[in-house]
Chains A and B, each alone.
Chain A
Amino acid sequence: TQLLEQSPQFLSIQEGENLTVYCNSSSVFSSLQWYRQEPGEGPVLLVTVVTGGEVKKLKRLTFQFGDARKDSSLHITAAQPGDTGLYLCAGAFSGSARQLTFGSGTQLTVLP
């Protein structure tokens, strides 16, 4: 069984602070995606990374894919209350490229 570990599970910070969420596996990803989910709604795709060492930026969000393609991180700069939500990483593993395995998620709360 291929597992994705996400940390931290819960994160509560003040508006304006920075934070980093981590996603790790012992297996190599063929691609990795980050999603954001709000209560009662479906996950919304934020980014897909496919190349080891790749860095992608989406406004205040920076996504990094590890050189060995076994880990990824999401960094948020100057967090805002609107960033509150459940952040999920999802990996497609080599050999099962069309199936996604989801991490358990990081519940982020940004307090005003």
Chain B
Amino acid sequence: DSGVTQTPKHLITATGQRVTLRCSPRSGDLSVYWYQQSLDQGLQFLIQYYNGEERAKGNILERFSAQQFPDLHSELNLSSLELGDSALYFCATAGLADNEQFFGPGTRLTVL
């Protein structure tokens, strides 16, 4: 158990809908990273927040957004969902050292 929690575990929705994925970091971790993992693309970095501020952006679509709240939990919002958005979404958190990331159990999103 990494100490990182993600909810929900599974999410099934329809195309065009909007969903919110939630991540709670390990105690004391200030950085939150979001990743998408699909069979054909592997693990892709989406976005990073550090202590409430956006720090880095990766391959994140404009339909996706994220935020980190004062209590350091983070949410990833996915809108106008398409079939191709079906994937595992992971968050990872890191402490001050910031070079070691600890992953949550993931949210499996299925878009029908």
Contacts and interface: CB of A to CB of B under 8 A. Distances in A.
Interface of A: 30-31, 33, 35, 40-45, 48, 50, 88, 90, 92, 96-105
Nearest to A92: B99
A43 B58 contact: no
B48 A42 contact: no
Contact of A42 (B56, B58, B103): B103
Nearest to A6: B42
Given A42-B90, A48-B100, A97-B99, A102 B43 contact: yes
Given A40-B106, A42-B106, A43-B90, 17 more contacts: A33-B99, A35-B103, A42-B90, A42-B103, A43-B103, A44-B2, A44-B103, A45-B101, A45-B102, A45-B103, A97-B99, A98-B99, A99-B58, A100-B33, A102-B45, A103-B42, A105-B42
Given A97-B99, A98-B98, A40 B108 contact: yes
Q: Using C-beta atoms within 8 Å of the partner chain, give the interface range for chain B.
A: 20 to 34
Contacts of A105: 42-43
Given A40-B108, A98-B31, A48 B102 contact: no
28 contacts: A30-B99, A33-B99, A35-B103, A40-B88, A40-B108, A41-B106, A42-B2, A42-B4, A42-B104, A42-B105, A43-B43, A44-B2, A44-B103, A45-B100, A48-B99, A48-B100, A88-B43, A96-B56, A97-B98, A98-B31, A98-B48, A98-B94, A99-B58, A100-B33, A100-B101, A102-B42, A102-B43, A105-B43
Contacts of A96: 56
